[in-house]
Amino acid sequence: MGRANPVMVFIECRDHHIAEVSIELICEAGRLAEKIGAPVEAVALGYQIQDDLEVLGQYGCRRVHYLEDKRLAHFTSVPFARAMVKVIKEIEPRIVLFGATKIGRDVAPRVASTLKCGLTADCTALEIGEHRTKDKEYTDILLQIRPAFGGNILATIISPDSTPSMATVRDGVMKRTDPDPAQTTEIVKTDHGLSDEDFLTEVLEVVEKERDVDLKAAKIIVSAGMGACNTESLSLIKELATLLGGEVGASRPVVDSGLLGKDHQVGQTGVAVNPNLYIACGISGQIQHRAGMSGAKRIVAINDNPAAPIFGIAHYGIVGNVMDILPKLIKTFKARNSA
Amino acid sequence: MSLNIIVTVKQVPDTHHIAADAMKPDGTVNRSALPAIVNPDDLHALEEALKIKERLGASVTAITMGPDNAIEVLRECLYRGADDVILLSDRRFAGSDTLATSYVLKCAIDKIGSYDLVICGHQAIDGDTAQVGPQLAEKLGVNQLTHVSEVVDVSKESITVKRSVENGHERAKSRLPVLLTVTSEANVPRPPSAKRALAFKHLDSKACDGPYENVYLEPDTCIEVDHIKEWDADAIGADAERCGISGSPTRVKKIENVVLVAGDIKQVSNDEADISEMIRELVDAHIIA
Ligand SMILES: Cc1cc2nc3c(=O)[nH]c(=O)nc-3n(C[C@H](O)[C@H](O)[C@H](O)COP(=O)(O)OP(=O)(O)OC[C@H]3O[C@@H](n4cnc5c(N)ncnc54)[C@H](O)[C@@H]3O)c2cc1C
Ligand SMILES: Nc1ncnc2c1ncn2[C@@H]1O[C@H](COP(=O)(O)O)[C@@H](O)[C@H]1O
């Protein structure tokens, strides 16, 4: 018997920086791998990024399969998917994790389709567990947990007969462990087996846009829900956020309404945030929203419905109208600062 | 020769507008109380196809896999200008995950035969997986351009789109055939045409298993074409093992209702003194400066 089949992470690297979500996934892979006695390995595709990959060792990655080619410097679907398939077939990982980024969400399903394996999008937790059917017993399989549509529901998804099991996870969902500078990784240059015919997309221009807001790094977030989805409430929310030195977040329907940009969305399909303080204004607290903010150190909920689920996770609950409460919060905070 | 465009549409529960009476006392949603609608992104996919039709000339065929009543989303496509629509319905398709769904769609597209563009919605609002598009592209063996927010240019040979990427957007070009997934930024879907609605309202589906005939549904000719084609697994030559539950590697192991037990929640009244006290506590705990 050779090595145990690894837990593998697809690495994204932009401008010589490993994406944060890739590091978070290496850490999560380490947690899963320990339970099944497997090593953590990674796959990276790119050009002249070998030095950037070294850091993965500090987070517990034992080996990086590095596919280097000038044509892989910029992501395009078919070459990335084909090359990933080749590596997965050779290495036979048990689990493959992708960031639920634009790239991860583009390439992972294509890979899953070729390998006919299971893929679960936007998982909010991963575990190792077992499963029993009438005639079969599975041990050490990946449990992929995500909120399901339809209220306060968490679904555990498995793909017991599929190798590998694959999942995508959003930025910020998994916790980083502390790096250990003494740990290194082995970088193995691997052949991608691609030919010119695989490069079907010609990227003509890339326009970088400053992110509206970086919620992930914010220490304080004041968030607007449908109970505050109007310009008056929003300007109070912005005022409070500025006063507190924080940022403005939102629930999905507020973003859908166009009042705030997509970068402001907190939740399962937005950003997962870990601020010191999260003030939820007119947010009911559905599970998809909670999936992105329940890790906040302190949660203040303002809602006119005392039965709103947000009060179930809040540390401070204020039952009332946001248009009444927000001015009072602003006023008392200002008074405090000038005192 | 004009382009052949296939649009994939899905019937979904209207998860964006959950009326209070659809909530059950345990906090879960009574799915059957939600109206079934065309997945919003798919209307943008159809609109993009219709815009290309207006520019270059094209025939637009909408397909959906779903239960019998999913025919309603096909009618919606006809009202807006689709030339032909096909219902993929079979008990053996039930329980399909995204992999099995993309397999069924692939078999149907193979049966239709020639196409230059396949246009999908970016994601379906009941699951937000955004997986069917890329999986279908892989099964068809064609290139994919996902997250498309604008079709910049299209000819009979190639297409150039604007698509969002992690830190902004890019302009990307591909030869045809290619599969696009389209987001809501791409366009404003046209409303149904009253004339077409009148002509197609009563059109029902009829199982067909002969070869695909592209007799398009035009309001003026619909006396001849009096039904919507319905294909089952046999009609599209699908391997039943790869459809439905048996073709789906993913399983729902467990569904858990999350019961929130309120922790140490402090009730704060709307009184300024109370609010001030809360702020003091947050400052003392070094939560705010
Ligand atoms: C697959 C999927 C993924 C999703 N991903 C996300 C996600 O990433 N992020 C996300 O947020 N949602 C997401 N959602 C949507 C989520 O399920 C909820 O629909 C959404 O979070 C509700 O937003 P809300 O709380 O702002 O609105 P509502 O649920 O409408 O709540 C509004 C609240 O405001 C209160 N209110 C009304 N007026 C006032 C007032 N004047 N003063 C005080 N309170 C008031 C009401 O009592 C109510 O509790 C997703 C859904 C699905 C199906
Ligand atoms: N059952 C279906 N029938 C037709 N098209 C579908 C079906 N399911 C998904 N699609 C297409 O795939 C897109 C993405 O769906 P999803 O992967 O479920 O988020 C949708 O916007 C549709 O265009």
pLDDT along chain A (339 residues), means of 10: 81 94 98 96 97 97 97 97 98 97 98 97 96 93 90 89 95 94 96 95 94 91 97 97 96 95 94 96 96 95 95 95 96 86
Whether residues A208 and B278 touch (CB distance < 8 A) is answered with no
The nearest CA of chain B is from the CA of A189 a distance in Å of 26
* pLDDT in the model for residue B16: 77
Distance B65 CA to ligand 2 centre (A): 9
Q: Is A245 in the pocket of ligand 1 (CB under 6 A)?
A: no
Contact A84, A10 (CB under 8 A): yes
* pLDDT in the model for residue B216: 64
Q: Is the dihedral of CA A99, A103, A106, A107 positive or negative?
A: negative
- Longest Cα separation, chain A: 72
Distance CA B66, CA B94 (A): 8
**φ, ψ (nearest 5 deg) of residue A288:** -70, -30
Distance CA B38, CA B85 (A): 14
Distance of CA B87 to the CA centre of its chain: 14
Both ends of chain B: CA-CA distance in Å? Answer: 69
Nearest to B251 among A106, A113, A159 (CB): A159
Burial of A65 per CB tally in 10 Å (0-12, 13-18, 19+):
buried
DSSP assignment string, B221-257: TTTT--EEEEE-TTTTT--GGGSTGGG---EEEEEEE
Q: Is the dihedral of CA A273, A277, A281, A283 positive or negative?
A: positive
* pLDDT in the model for residue B184: 94
Q: Is A270 in the pocket of ligand 1 (CB under 6 A)?
A: yes
Distance CA B164, CA A218 (A): 24
Distance CA B18, CA A279 (A): 24
- CB contacts < 8 A, A to B, total 237
Does the pLDDT value for residue B14 go beyond 60?
yes
Distance CA A184, CA A181 (A): 8
Both ends of chain A: CA-CA distance in Å? Answer: 71
The nearest CA of chain B is from the CA of A222 a distance in Å of 12
Quick one: which of A295, A255, A246, A253 has its CA closest to A272?
A295
Ligand 2 atom 8, closest CA: B10
Residue corresponding to tokens 């997250």 = B147
* pLDDT in the model for residue B223: 45
In DSSP terms, which residues pair with A41 in a beta bridge? A8, A63
Contact A310, A301 (CB under 8 A): yes
What does DSSP assign to residue A266? B
More confident residue, B260 or A284: A284
Task: Tell me the range of A172-176, B46-50, B256-260 where mean pLDDT is highest.
Answer: B46-50
The nearest CA of chain B is from the CA of A239 a distance in Å of 15
Residue corresponding to tokens 């994601």 = B123
- Supply the mean pLDDT for chain B: 91
Residue at B91: amino acid letter:
R
**Ligand 1: nearest atom to the Cα of A149:** 53
Of chain B, the percentage scoring pLDDT greater than 70 comes to 94
More confident residue, A141 or B1: A141
* pLDDT in the model for residue B18: 72
Q: Once rounded to an integer, what is the mean pLDDT over residues B187-199? A: 94
Q: Is the dihedral of CA B267, B271, B276, B277 positive or negative?
A: negative
Residue at A67: amino acid letter:
L
Which residues of chain A from 161 to 200 reach within 8 Å of chain B, CB to CB?
A: 161-162, 200
From residue B227, give the alpha-carbon distance in Å to each of A202, B62, B83, B204: 42, 14, 13, 5
Whether residues A118 and B250 touch (CB distance < 8 A) is answered with yes
Residue corresponding to tokens 């907190």 = A266
Distance CA A304, CA B41 (A): 33
Q: How many residues does chain A have?
A: 339
Q: Does residue A26 sit in helix, strand or coil?
A: helix
Contact A98, A107 (CB under 8 A): yes
